[in-house]
A and B are shown apart, each in its own frame.
Chain A
């Protein structure tokens, strides 16, 4: 490594950390929408692969730390992974424990990274020799994942029943676009479909506004009242072992450990599933909420880390929800990166390991320190400055842009169609995990219906 490259890597880490500290604090900023476009720009601009990797790793670490802040302090989800934490967060906030919750969530994230970064690197190295054996079975993992997540969700039958119709929806749009020639037959649209699922509930809500009865249910009497506690910052210890109780430490470590092995399953699905299991470790409502939110916060880090590191280092094919979604630009961003020539093929194992370790460590240290000192002040600033309207407007513009870039004007309405259907299913209880898995499994599922 020459000096210029090292400086570039460090600069990428610092820039990513600064950008995503800011974005993470803004409530409702969906991970995929804020990670994917920026990463895509960097890859397509032909930035050095090691610099790209450093940027992405520090971005996900920072984002997963800071997304917890609006969640714990204001009861507003920082991102998609924070939505399963809201219930716990609001309970703890009402108990006057928001300050402690932030500390615990950040500490759990740190513990989780200390486990997941080395573990995912080791797992990737163990898995690498079997890459050629596993790759052909990727389809079964996705199909199995969709079924597994359906069976573990609250709406089991409904989720199972929605897998095939969803697969048909995705494939019918792809075949339509191929048929009328708006995209080449070799192109498989995933990015804008993925974002369509993500934005589904929002689109569903926006359309409901046009229905009189639904509108009445969404009407608010006035401004939202949010209470922040001035003294929330006064807990000084930075040592995770002092911040977390023994039970919390075990739950965070165990959750991080398990999720590394389950890297093909949806992060939100895993967080809901294992988070609820961990919550049962205590019968006391408050303690149970703490254990649950600590485990969920740990899993936000461990799922993202393992789901990007293992497929990228071991296989070079996007065989996990994070790899197919927010991290897809690292695998496939033609003409710069393709499935035959991406970061997996370009970087050596030692380059990969060194960059991942450095990026995760620096980003974690900076963000953890930032949170411990400024969590309250910065949340206050963001809530005062950034209107929710601007965030929603940004998402709508993002999705329209990516839809248009993927397959032109027609895809704007294609994305709207997906968003309406998945948003409706989502409201009925079919979670993101099942829907994402159905998207990945769609091409294979259709073959079984012939």
Chain B
């Protein structure tokens, strides 16, 4: 567990690389925003609850996008393939 929280612990998960600390931050952040906005829905109003919950999830997603850098090295190659 301690190892997961230290800096630059890169892990490969679902075909892409993440840093464990950042993953934890993003999961906690998005869950908190989702349920915070969700809690404003009147009790028993399922559509409103879902709508607000999704809104909260999108806010959390956008915050994560602005806070966390993708762990990808993009190499743009300049080769011309001949079309077969």
Contacts and interface: CB of A to CB of B under 8 A. Distances in A.
Contact of A41 (B12, B54, B75): B54
A394 B49 contact: no
Nearest to B19: A389
B80 A231 contact: yes
A247 interface: no
Interface stretch (A58-66, A214-222, A311-319, A342-350): A214-222
A372 to B, nearest CB: 14
B78 interface: yes
Contacts of A222: 10, 17, 71
A396 B25 CA distance: 12
A75 B13 CA distance: 14
Interface in A376-394: 380, 383-394
Given A231-B81, A401-B38, A390 B61 contact: yes
Contacts of B7: none
A387 B68 contact: yes
Contact of B30 (A45, A228, A396): A396
Contact of A380 (B4, B18, B35, B74): B74
A401 B46 CA distance: 12
Nearest to A99: B81
Contact of A397 (B23, B30, B71, B75): B30
Contacts of B81: 96-97, 99-100, 229, 231
B70 A394 contact: no
Contacts of A228: 74-77
A45 B30 CA distance: 24
A387 B51 contact: no
A341 to B, nearest CB: 17
A27 interface: yes
Interface residues of A, dominant DSSP:
helix
Contacts of A86: 15
Interface stretch (A160-168, A177-185, A202-210): A202-210
Contacts of A246: none
A206 B53 CA distance: 23
A398 interface: yes
Interface string A26-61: 011000000001101100110000000000000000
A269 interface: no
Contact of A226 (B38, B75, B83): B75
Contacts of B57: 394, 397-398, 401
A223 B16 CA distance: 9
A220 B15 contact: no
**Most-contacted residue by chain B among A77, A224, A380, A398 (CB, 10 A):** A224
Given A223-B73, A224-B17, A397-B60, A387 B54 contact: no
A392 B13 contact: yes
- Which of A41, A100, A384, A388 has its CB near the most chain B CB atoms (within 10 A)? A388
B18 A210 contact: no
Interface string A224-239: 1111111100110000
Contacts of B70: 383-388
Contacts of B73: 223-226
A426 to B, nearest CB: 12
Given A209-B4, A392-B18, A225 B75 contact: yes
Contacts of A97: 81
Contacts of B53: 401, 405
Interface centre among B25, B29, B57 (most CB of A within 10 A): B57
Contacts of B80: 231, 234
A84 interface: no
A201 B14 CA distance: 8
A96 B77 CA distance: 11
A396 B13 contact: no
Nearest to A229: B77
Contacts of B83: 100, 235
Contacts of B26: 387, 389-390, 392-393
Contacts of B47: 40-41, 44-45
Nearest to A286: B84
A231 B79 contact: yes
Contact of B22 (A38, A221, A389): A389
B79 A394 contact: no
B15 to A, nearest CB: 5
A76 interface: yes
Interface in B33-83: 33-35, 38, 46-47, 49-51, 53-54, 56-57, 60-61, 64-65, 68-81, 83
Which 5 A-B pairs give the minimum distances between C-beta atoms? A44-B47, A393-B26, A390-B64, A397-B30, A393-B30
7 contacts: A28-B14, A209-B4, A389-B18, A391-B61, A393-B27, A393-B60, A401-B50
Given A388-B17, A405-B46, 11 more contacts: A41-B47, A99-B81, A100-B84, A215-B3, A223-B10, A229-B77, A380-B76, A389-B18, A392-B14, A396-B30, A397-B60
